[in-house]
Each structure stands twice: as structure tokens, then as C-alpha cells.
Amino acid sequence: MDTKWIRIENPQAPKEEELQAAARVIREGGLVAFPTETVYGLGANALDEEAARKIYAAKGRPSDNPLIAHIASLKGLEPLVTDVSKVGKELAQAFWPGPLTLVFPKSGLVPYGTTGGLDTVAIRMPSDPVAKGVIALAGVPVAAPSANRSGRPSPTTARHVWQDMEGRIDMLLDGGQVGIGLESTIVDVTGTIPVLLRPGAVTMEMLEAVVGAVEVDPAIQGPLTAGMPPKAPGMKYRHYAPKAELTLVEGAEEAVVSKVNQLAKEKLAAGFRVGILGTEETRGRYPHGIVRSVGARGQEEAIAHNLFAILREFDDLQVEYIFSESFSQDHLGQAIMNRLTKAAGYRKVQV
Ligand code: TXA
Ligand code: MG
């Protein structure tokens, strides 16, 4: 299939005629990749089971991993769910449109092909003007996973999407680089106490400020043990996986730098290509390997923004081992460390 690449002239204020063709593709059961404020999404009609099947095929994704349905306004929520809990209402009011996905009990309108067989449906109202515009013009809820091939880091630029999806989808809307760079926060609001299923830019602290107590799905913290299924089925797959073996090094700065240097030297001596994921503060202290700074330690937004692009760059450079510094778990740090820990397959060295 020929994939059309359409550049949006001003992504902050897209013109309707720039989005019409994409909306038509979605209405007619095709696949369109588009920017959102978190990462690029791969959109199709969420009410069309056949379209959902095409998404799974294009991504190479297991079909028991449910899709998020994206809506353009609150009016879009009601037909998709059977109940909106008090906490669901409060969180939607506080953070929509934005980088928050809420899980509700699904209505009969939403096919099991979209929810991976679950009786719940994940819903998000994005704030990105291109995403919002396409969904509104399509006139249907839009199922959109991140627009990467399964197992690759989520795309934060149109070029990343092209790398993974050229020839596999109908259209790519190029809205430039996304703002946040990590996927949305997911919260299950089917019960009385909300449960955090995936950390993101709407942080634990922000959720608690609105609804008080929030539980955390154990799948976020560490590897799952047998018989303990994650509530977000996608969390059981080794997501965000760079091709290289990634190891996280945790501890005080000096100790981390010297451990990373030692580990890198060992692999380089054995003839491997080595990547080092450092920070503005430490980048000058790594004399060996391919060194990238993910940002300054104090600027979590920048770290979130750069992380997936650097992991992809290491893939492109055919790096075989990556050694990475660790970050604090507070605020946005929880989402950063969640993605890094999963990319590392939980491989961590403490110094
Ligand atoms: O920021 C985002 O959320 C991006 C943009 C495109 O909106 N989308 C995204 O979709 O990250 P995806 O498919 O890559 O990740 C969706 C996650 C998966 O881990 C999936 O298992 C979980 O959401 N999920 C979807 N429906 C669910 C449900 N009904 N209950 C629990 N988890 C669900
Ligand atoms: Mg994804």
C-alpha cells in the first residue's frame, strides 16, 4: 500500500481542508497516523471491528492488547460507556482534554475487537489540535495505539512513524515533534477508588490532588509474577524495547558514572557497540562508547520528551548494549522510570 505523508503547515492551528482526507480514510475503515500531545497514534474507526484488526496487523500487535478510543468532546463519551463513576467524572473534568486515559465499563456499541475482549473500554480526549480536529471531522471515536511496530519505542516524530509504518498504513499526518513524549497516564475508574495502570504526564501527585486516594497496579513497579495479571494487558509485553540490551545503573552520581564507564569498557573490549544514556550533568565524563544526554536532571519534561527518540537512535546505530543512568520516581519521574525499567527488562545494577 502507498502511504501518503501529509505535512500540516501549522500544527497548532490546522486547517480543516488539511484534515478532511484523513477523516475520510478513518470513516471508510482505513488507517491514519496522527500526532497527539503524548506520542503519535495510529487511528482507525473504534466502532469497526475490521478496522481494529487492521491496526493489529499493521503494528504486529497481539490482538488481546486493547486499544484506546479517542474522542473529541465530552458528548462522545456517553454512547461508549454504561456508567461514569464519581471519580471518573472528577478526573475527566480536571484533565480532559489532555494526556489522561480513563477506563470505564463499555457499552454494547464498542466491539470486543477494539477492547481485546474486555468488558471495559479505555477512553482519552486528546488536546492536540491535529488529533482533536481529525477525530471531530471523522465523526466516530478513533481507536489509536501508539504508531510504532510492536516492541519498538513509541514514535515522537513523523519520521519515527514513517520508519515503522511506511507501506502499512494509508496516511501519515505530520504535525512535527510531539510535546510530551511519553504515552498518556491510564487510570481505571470502574471502582470507587481509582487505580493507576500506567504512569504518564498526569502524575500520581496530580491525580491525588483531585480525587484523594489512588491505588497503583503492581505491574507498574516491577516484573509480574505468575498468576498476577496486569490490569492494563499491554503492560505484560516487553514494551518500549530497544534492540540493544539495556541496563539501568542506580546510585549516587559519582558511583553511577564510574560503574557505567566500567561496564561500557568491558563490552567495548569484547568488540560490542555500546550506547550510554547520560545527562547534561554527566555527559562529559563518559570517554567511551556512543554517549547521548537525555537532558538536565532537574528538567523532567525534557527527559520525557527526549527519551524515546534516543532509544530509537541507538537502534538505528545498531548499538548492542546500552547503559543508562536512573532518575527519581517523583512526579513525571515515575513515568520516565516506568518506561526505562521496562525497556531494560528490569535489568538494574545498584551501586
Ligand atoms: O498516549 C497514549 O495513550 C497513546 C496516544 C496515541 O493516545 N496511545 C497509546 O496506546 O499509548 P497503546 O495502545 O500503545 O497503549 C494503550 C495501553 C495498553 O497498555 C493497553 O493494554 C491499555 O492501554 N488498555 C487499553 N484498553 C484498556 C482497558 N479496557 N483496560 C485496561 N487497559 C487498557
Ligand atoms: Mg504502545
Percent of the chain topping pLDDT 70: 96
The confidence score (pLDDT) of residue 310 equals 97
Dihedral over Cα of 179, 90, 67, 128: its sign: negative
The pTM assigned to this predicted structure is 0.96
Residues of the chain where predicted confidence (pLDDT) is lower than 70: 224-230, 233-240
Q: What is the DSSP string of 121-134?
A: EEEE----HHHHHH
CB 43 within 8 A of CB 70: yes
First-to-last CA distance in the chain? 50
Q: What are phi and psi of 253, to 5 degrees?
A: -50, -50
Q: What is the DSSP string of 281-335?
A: TTGGG--SSEEEE---TT-HHHHHHHHHHHHHHHHHTT-SEEEEE----STTHHH
**d(Cα 127, Cα 177) in Å, to the nearest integer?**
15
From residue 220, give the alpha-carbon distance in Å to each of 111, 152, 187, 262, 276.
27, 19, 12, 30, 25
Q: Which of 59, 96, 184, 186 for mutating ligand 1's site (highest number of atoms within 8 Å of CB)?
A: 186
The confidence score (pLDDT) of residue 234 equals 65
The confidence score (pLDDT) of residue 30 equals 98
**d(Cα 177, Cα 128) in Å, to the nearest integer?**
12
From residue 213, give the alpha-carbon distance in Å to each of 83, 194, 331, 332.
21, 8, 16, 18
The confidence score (pLDDT) of residue 219 equals 85
Query: Which residue ranges have their beta carbon within 6 Å of ligand 1?
Result: 36, 38-39, 41, 65-68, 101, 103, 115, 118, 120-122, 124, 144-146, 183-184, 186, 197, 231-235
Q: Residue 188: which of 224, 240, 230, 131 has the closest Cα? A: 230
The grid cell for 303 is 527527559
The confidence score (pLDDT) of residue 241 equals 74
From residue 23, give the alpha-carbon distance in Å to each of 7, 115, 212, 346.
15, 22, 39, 40
pLDDT tens per residue, range 274-308: 999 999 999 999 999 999 999 999 999 999 999 99
- Residues 181-219 as b/e (b if ≥16 CB within 10 A, e otherwise) read bbbbbbbbbbeeebbbbbbbbbbbebbeeebeebeebeb
Q: Is 4 helix (H, G, I), strand (E, B) or coil?
A: strand
Q: What value does the CA radius of gyration of the chain take, rounded to a whole number of Å?
A: 20
Residues 6+ apart with CB under 8 A from 240: 153, 154, 308, 311, 339, 342, 343
Distance 85 CA to ligand 2 centre (A): 26
Distance 275 CA to ligand 1 centre (A): 29
- Packing angle, helices 158-165 and 300-316, rounded to 10: 30
Position in ligand 1 atom list of the atom nearest CA 42: 6
Distance 157 CA to ligand 1 centre (A): 19
**d(Cα 264, Cα 273) in Å, to the nearest integer?**
9
